[in-house]
Amino acid sequence: TPRGTVFILHGYFDHVGLYSQLIDRCLGAGFDVLAYDQPGHGLSSGTPAAIGSFIEYQGVLSDVMAHVQPKVRQPWFAVGQSTGGAILIDYLLSNSHSQETSAFRKVVLLAPLVRPMGWLGAKVLHSLMKPFLTRWRRAFSANSGNSRFLRFLREHDPLQARAVHVDWVGALRSWVPHIESARPVDFPVTVVQGEKDLTVDWEHNLRIIRNKFSSVEELRIPDGRHHLVNEAQDLQATVFNTIIDTFSNPSAQTAGKTATGRK
């Protein structure tokens, strides 16, 4: 008997195929799983790695939720990696959701995006390049300790976009101040964050998240990088166990702990 449904929201450049291990772990723990490719990603339509506004992500999430409402089991839980975490943050803050009004009983954010690392420089670069380019070549970073995963992305994944789209950065520029100025909500979230993450400005992002949600349980992983769903096997196990434990026992406390259990 399923224990509910876990919605999995992937990150920028990702697609559902990269989340097969997390999907298997959730299924093995007795949860149903619902996942979909975001616009411009994977098998979904849209310009690759582009979005006109982050509002479009909210529209897609709302459409999916409305479509599956009578078809998938309650309660609902949600986990979002990076931009997927940003979508969940936006869903909760922009709709002023509490635990009583949210469709999700519990939310886990994995290396959530509020603003990326080097955000000031990215904004300057975007302003300079926007009049002349629609995209620029993507640099594949070492965002995981799993070398096999990184090689797969670079050399074998046919669904990987090879460029960053200027429109996506422009949409992010509009979204960041919207989220950072949003009113706090009475909703608890769990955040899993690698301390070697060079993709998002995670220390800043955690400060913002702490100010926006009534309760924030943090699990910091000292050796964790950005793509926590596909980290090295021992770190990945810590991430997956935290997700399952949180959804299995919504009152479980991991606040202020690292993966080694230190305060």
**What's the predicted TM-score (pTM) here?**
0.93
How many structural domains compose the chain? Answer: 1
pLDDT, tens only, 53-75? 999 999 999 999 999 999 999 99
Collapsed DSSP state (helix, strand, coil) of residue 77: strand
Q: What is the pLDDT of residue 253?
A: 42
78 falls within a domain: yes
Task: Give residue-wise pLDDT tens across range 89-125.
Answer: 999 999 999 999 999 999 999 999 999 998 787 777 6
In 10 A of CB 208, how many CB atoms? Answer: 18
Residue 149 counted as domain residue: yes
What integer is the mean pLDDT of 39-61?
96
We report the CATH number of the domain holding residue 246 as 3.40.50.1820
Go through 84-106 and write b for each residue having 16 or more CB atoms within 10 A of its CB, e for each that does not. bbbbbbbbbbbeebeeeebbbeb
Do 129 and 173 form a contact (C-beta atoms < 8 A)? no
**How much is the average pLDDT of 201-224?**
98
Buried b (16+ CB within 10 A) or exposed e, 29-41: bebebbbbbbbbb
d(CA 108, CA 6): 10
Residue 226 domain flag: yes
**What is the per-residue pLDDT for 262?**
34
- Residue from 28, 26, 35 nearest 8 by CA: 35
How large is the average pLDDT for residues 27-41? 97
Residue 157 falls inside a structural domain = yes
Q: Is 263 a member of any domain?
A: no
Distances (CA, A) of 24 to 17, 98, 233, 240: 12, 30, 15, 10
Average pLDDT over all residues of the chain? 92
Residue 173 has pLDDT above 90, yes or no: yes
Q: CA angle at residue 112 from 155 to 206, to 5 degrees?
A: 140
- 156: containing domain: 5-258
pLDDT, position 126: 67
Per-residue model confidence (pLDDT) at position 251: 62
What average pLDDT does the segment 126-154 reach? Answer: 85
